[in-house]
Structure 1
């Protein structure tokens, strides 16, 4: 069973994602385990402090190294071989090929979700990789972590069900967008399904799909 742990100040944020659809099914079927680690439980003092002002001045607060360190150690005790990942704009850009790579990896993943102005740099001593969903900044790493977990879990064998369902998706080859798809009825408000898809000629259908994929990729990607 693959384990994904999310270290966060707001564990309730994951409830809607982890308890619905394919994420729920994957857990029910015993394929994955999705859990949160509440950073506040490792806070310092009677107030469970987890953040402080940065040395050198500046606005905002940083997550302190000691609570984060303890939270990572706890998560590691639950899954000793898991890799530790920090959600960060510095990280490598998330792509479908990376999601597939992680789906093929047997190790669990521990996600550190930053907040406020970020994290004390010293936590990087425990971090194996940094990942990013794009060149923009969120208020915390939870949304990014959930997106990545969703993109990984759905590619783990047995989650989606159909053996070929993930092979024809956008970016499954690293760059190409998926072709258009249609289902019943054949006509709706004057909009018709392309005749080639109704022809039953598998060769022509395959060629049409390949042409459409190339056209959409050229039009919609940089």
Structure 2
């Protein structure tokens, strides 16, 4: 991959010689070139900016130097990256996309920005991506270009010594934030490494890491929880009193199926009224999913006693069952459990094979030793901390 940087501060890019990017260049994985935009000016002051048309504060970068720079650098296979706070948000998905390109040219603006005609002209000659590093403003585009470069280049084949280390990072294929990591010693200044990581039980370690990733994502970036599972990225949001009517409809649709599977009609959820649903909405932490304005999934939880998180009413519209929505709802309600919860408990129909299979796959275990409602079984799971 060839990387070109156009800036009025070319020394900004000396960090590209350090650490892994420098090693990648030495191995021939990337070919780095830095260009001083002032080298494309022709007046003695090497002017790259002028006052904005229409008035206003600040200066705007002139089109002429950029045009000459692009004459030297652009080819049909080039992707021009304009780093700008008005661009599309940069994320891991976009980093992976850019990592497939042969040639990236980073146009690093300053002042109030680059004359829009430069962007329009570049778009006539090559692929153009206007990219924002985040919802804030920097003095120039160089810092953003460096950040984008590091995120992109590390995805190139042969760049990472251990390619598997990319799979479990934050924002990787699963879409979750990365779980906490620890190393030796096992105890440091009163803080201990979680016992599960020292157990040698690889299945328990994997389960703990996944649960921690879900929990951290729910706490810090709840917007990331569902896009990793649902194609349309529909978020899980807290239910409101206005959802009661649709929850009642969804509940009846789901529990008719339960009644058929268990050959019994004496199921409380099947007989609740709208007022009943409104009442439990005030008592349970309830979350819902909507698609195209339609309520298609829901789940609820509440603390029972001091340490048990009671999970209930995992509901998915009949036409979407089997799509993975039930699994993500179950993961979500576990992740949002309060810190004092040390275990999860739920029940389902004794003959509800599909439900029991999903719960067992999520780490729940049947508890015949615990009392259960008529025609139902209880499942529990210890919260791994």
Give the structure-2-normalised TM-score: 0.55
Structure 2 residue matching 1:73: 3-state secondary structure: helix
Within 5 A, what are the aligned runs for 1:74-153?
74-76=72-74, 81-103=77-99, 105-124=100-119, 125-127=121-123, 128-153=128-153
What displacement does 1:114 show?
A: 0.6
The number of equivalent residue pairs is: 217
Q: Distance in 2 between matches of 1:19 and 1:80?
A: 28
Q: Which runs of 5+ in 1 are unaligned?
A: none
Give the conservation status (yes or no) of the 8 Å contact 1:65–1:123. Answer: yes
Partner in structure 1 of residue 27 of structure 2: 29
Deviations 1:87-125 (A, max 9, x none): 11221100011111222x142110111111111110012
The structure that is strand-richer by fraction is: 2
Partner in structure 1 of residue 56 of structure 2: 58
Question: Superposition RMSD on alpha carbons, in Å?
Answer: 1.3
Structure 2 residue matching 1:165: 3-state secondary structure: helix
What displacement does 1:174 show?
A: 6.3
What displacement does 1:33 show?
A: 1.5
1:213 equivalenced with 2:208 (yes/no): no
- Runs of 4 or more off by more than 2 Å in structure 1? none
Give the conservation status (yes or no) of the 8 Å contact 1:85–1:129. Answer: yes
Give the structure-1-normalised TM-score: 0.93
What displacement does 1:80 show?
A: 5.1
Deviations 1:146-193 (A, max 9, x none): 100010011112112102011100011363100111111111122211
Q: Distance in 2 between matches of 1:190 and 1:162?
A: 32
Q: Distance in 1 between matches of 2:3 and 2:122?
A: 17
Partner in structure 2 of residue 4 of structure 1: 3
Please tell me whether Structure 1 or Structure 2 has the larger radius of gyration of its CA atoms: 2
Structure 1 residue matching 2:111: 3-state secondary structure: coil
Deviations 1:130-150 (A, max 9, x none): 111112111110000110001
Q: Distance in 2 between matches of 1:188 and 1:90?
A: 45
Q: Distance in 1 between matches of 2:22 and 2:56?
A: 42
Q: 1:102 to 1:65 in 2, by over 3 A?
A: same
Structure 2 residue matching 1:164: 3-state secondary structure: helix
Q: Distance in 1 between matches of 2:35 and 2:78?
A: 14
Q: Distance in 1 between matches of 2:98 and 2:134?
A: 18
Partner in structure 1 of residue 301 of structure 2: none
Q: Distance in 1 between matches of 2:218 and 2:8?
A: 41
Structure 2 residue matching 1:147: 3-state secondary structure: helix
- More RCO (CA 8 Å, sep 6+): 1
Q: Distance in 2 between matches of 1:11 and 1:80?
A: 25
